[in-house]
Amino acid sequence: MINASLKELAAALAAKQLSSVELATLFLERIARLNPALNAFITVDTEKTLTMARAADARLARGEGGPLTGIPIAHKDIFCAEGWLTTCGSKMLSNFISPYDATVIERFKAAGTVTLGKTNMDEFAMGSSNETSFYGPVKNPWDGAAVSGGSSGGSAAAVSARLTSAATGTDTGGSIRQPAALCGLTGLKPTYGVVSRYGMIAFASSLDQAGPMAKSAEDCALMLNAMAGFDARDSTSLERPAEDYARDLDKPLAGLKIGLPQEFFAEGLSADVAQAVEAAIAAYRTLGATTVDISLPNMKLSVPAYYVIAPAEASSNLSRFDGVRYGWRAPHYGDLADMYCKSRAQGFGAEVKRRILIGTYVLSHGYYDAYYLQAQRIRRLIARDFVEAFKSCDLIMGPTSPSVAFDLGDKAGDPVQMYLSDIYTIAVNLAGLPGMSIPCGFGLQGRPVGLQIIGDYFGEARMLNAAHRYQLASDWHRRAPAQ
């Protein structure tokens, strides 16, 4: 059952071939056995999980089950969950038990899912390798010497290693798509505002977006059906009619136009990734799609623009963590100012401090116009490039990451090289577009390669259709690490 799709698990539960308690126990046993080596989970609470599973079984027995009722999933530790330790991968929140549920958690509870635990992540979602977590790095299930990607690396590793059937993640500059690519699974970042950010601990408020991580596009569609929807508690939530993201999964691809940006296939892309991506695009042509060459001329500016805007917003969002109201407080201090300084110095890790300092600098008097305002202008140009590109194509495709997963520690001492890991994903967040990554092969050392699919605003159903049709014709998404 660990390799079954969400639809197959739902059918087995409905037919009483197994119970939710039995299914949850299966995954809990795998977590207990495999997580010590992978470090994918921060928090597991067997009793809470089994209580939810028993409630799901009772619901199924009453005939009240839905498509996800009784299915065990994991949540990135960025989502507040009532009664659960919610750390955001940081010492600063290492003692924080959330008193309420994030909207995403509420909606999965309403759908009847069972929470297996909270997954590891880069501290406050700041990182591309899951090495900045206070709880230690997450290992890639395909190769324990490699990173799992970040910041949703714990969720990616958990799904890839079959410690959970699916998981939630968040994507600020590629943090769902990049770890999905490096761990060989499917991950989707919706259009900005489609999924509520209420109760999701903020990194960069104009960029953060929650999304699903699962084995297949079909699974992601079912997850997104549960996650999406308007939320009055989130001022950035979009009020739109509800839609079924699985509605077009089986639609033929004849007539689909795929845009191939020249910037995605230029210098910096490793040969093994390029080979796998080009083979996937050739498969799309076989399935009836056509390709057109396009250009995103301002994409090269996305990394510098992002690393001005995101730290600026982070410096503001993280100002609330001061040791006064909740979270880590330094044990020894002189006065109030000393408590602030020591609590933040001891509670935040090096990468978080770096971004707070950068953000404070670019927002300071005399530098706001030169840096922050200029970055926002570039952001508008990047969004305009996508608008122009979608006049000649339906979807955009290319690599998710410039290389397969790199070794743990390889880029830890070079922040700029680490930041460039997200060169193909960041522009999507700056423009607020939907994007996803699907497995399309393997590169050097047998490490997975991801194909990125980018859609126009609210084009999730079309993206999922393209991904699903490719997955019907290939088996990359069905492959699992040897363990």
Length of the chain in terms of residues written = 483
Contacts 24+ apart (CB under 8 A), 50-59: 50/21, 50/24, 50/25, 52/24, 52/113, 52/114, 52/115, 53/19, 53/20, 53/21, 53/23, 53/24, 53/25, 53/114, 54/20, 54/21, 56/20, 56/112, 56/113, 56/114, 57/19, 57/20, 57/21, 59/112
Spatial strand order in the sheet of 448-455: 41-43, 114-119, 72-76, 166-171, 209-214, 186-189, 435-442, 448-455, 395-399, 257-261, 290-294
Q: Does the bond joining 151 to the residue before it have cis omega, within 30 degrees of 0?
A: yes
Q: Would you list the DSSP string of 205-270? A: TTT-EEEEEESSHHHHHHHHHHH-S--TT-TT--------TTTTTT---TT-EEEEEGGGGSTT--
Bridge partner list, 467? none
Residue type, 224: L
Strands 257-261 and 395-399: parallel
Q: Specify the amino acid at residue 479.
A: R
Active site residue 411: no
List of residues 6+ apart from 175 with CB closer than 8 A: 122, 125, 128, 150, 151, 152, 169
Identify the active-site residue in 90, 133, 151, 343.
151
User: Phi and psi of 209, rounded to 5°?
Assistant: -155, 135
- Tokens 């700029």, located at residue: 416
- Of 76, 91, 118, 139, the active-site residue reads 76
Q: Is residue 76 annotated as part of the catalytic site, yes or no?
A: yes
d(CA 439, CA 434): 17
* HSE of 229, CA atoms in CB hemisphere, 13 A: 14
Three-state secondary structure of 320-333: HCCCCCCCCCCCCC
Q: Residue 98, SS3?
A: coil
**Are the C-beta atoms of 343 and 322 separated by less than 8 Å?**
yes
User: Could you confirm whether 175 is annotated as catalytic?
Assistant: yes
Catalytic residue among 90, 129, 133, 175: 175
Q: Quote the distance between the C-alpha of residue 11 and its chain's center.
A: 27
The H or E element containing residue 442 is strand 435-442
Instruction: Pull the structure tokens for residue 198.
Output: 């209420």
Written as six digits, the tokens of 97 are 């038990």
Which active-site residues does the annotation give? Answer: 76, 151, 175
